[in-house]
Amino acid sequence: MPFSIVFEWGVMRINRPLAFLLILVMAAGCGVRWISETIDVDPAAISEVRGVGRKVAETTTSLIYEDVTQNISILILDVGASSFQEAANLTHGRLYQHGWIEKGRGIDSIHMKSARWKKTSLLIKPIESLEGYGVTQDPQVVKALEDDSIQSAAYVVLAFTPYA
């Protein structure tokens, strides 16, 4: 059944399928995207890195911007160190042996990339950084940290960030 669109200069009668098509064309012209994109870290990259220490916990958090969901994988490892600095240096050395290259260093972080995992960035951070990722209330992480017999302040948090 046709319906009417009223303009200042007159009335135009169009049917519903045509109206729907016009709305889609106008929305596309406004930059509306109908399909969102999700980017994940290659599981093989996480598997490779998991071997540099004893896994304490693992989780994922998501960042959403515009039409892209970026799933950040977080791995908490015990590398047998007595301090975070020692743990970060040990982790850095072990990752370097796997082909990861340092791209930058902050006060409490090391940024690394791998030629093998081109669309993945890795940050080595202290356990206190979990709060910044919003995973401190994740039941799996809480339980794993409570159940761990060592409960070390020297754990390293490895945050894998994928990008397109």
Instruction: Kindly state whether residues 74 and 112 are assigned to the same domain.
Output: yes
Q: What's this model's pTM, rounded to 2 decimal places?
A: 0.76
Instruction: Kindly state whether residues 49 and 73 are assigned to the same domain.
Output: yes
Tokens of 39: 């980017």
Q: Are 46 and 75 in contact (CB under 8 A)?
A: yes
- Rounded to the nearest 5°, which phi and psi values hold at 119? -105, 30
Instruction: Kindly state whether residues 17 and 94 are assigned to the same domain.
Output: no
Instruction: Kindly state whether residues 62 and 18 are assigned to the same domain.
Output: no
Instruction: Kindly state whether residues 27 and 99 are assigned to the same domain.
Output: no
Instruction: Name the amino acid, one letter, at 161.
Output: T
- How many domains does the chain contain in total? 2
Residue 135 has pLDDT above 90, yes or no: no
Instruction: Kindly state whether residues 28 and 85 are assigned to the same domain.
Output: no
Instruction: Kindly state whether residues 58 and 138 are assigned to the same domain.
Output: yes
Instruction: Kindly state whether residues 42 and 24 are assigned to the same domain.
Output: no
Instruction: Kindly state whether residues 109 and 136 are assigned to the same domain.
Output: yes
Residue-wise pLDDT for 46-89, tens only, equals 999 999 999 999 999 999 888 899 999 999 999 999 999 999 99
Sort residue 133 into left (φ over 0), alpha (ψ -120 to 50) or beta.
alpha
**Percentage of the chain lying above the pLDDT 70 cut:** 79
Stretch (H or E) spanning 111? strand 110-114
pLDDT tier at 10 (50, 70, 90 boundaries)? low
C-alpha span between 97 and 4 (Å, rounded): 70
Residue 128: C-alpha distances to residues 7, 76, 84, 109 (Å): 61, 11, 10, 11
Instruction: Kindly state whether residues 19 and 94 are assigned to the same domain.
Output: no
* pLDDT score of 49: 95
* pLDDT score of 29: 59
For 66, the domain range is 37-162
Instruction: Name the amino acid, one letter, at 55.
Output: K
pLDDT tier at 150 (50, 70, 90 boundaries)? confident
Instruction: Kindly state whether residues 125 and 139 are assigned to the same domain.
Output: yes
Instruction: Kindly state whether residues 94 and 141 are assigned to the same domain.
Output: yes
Sort residue 99 into left (φ over 0), alpha (ψ -120 to 50) or beta.
left
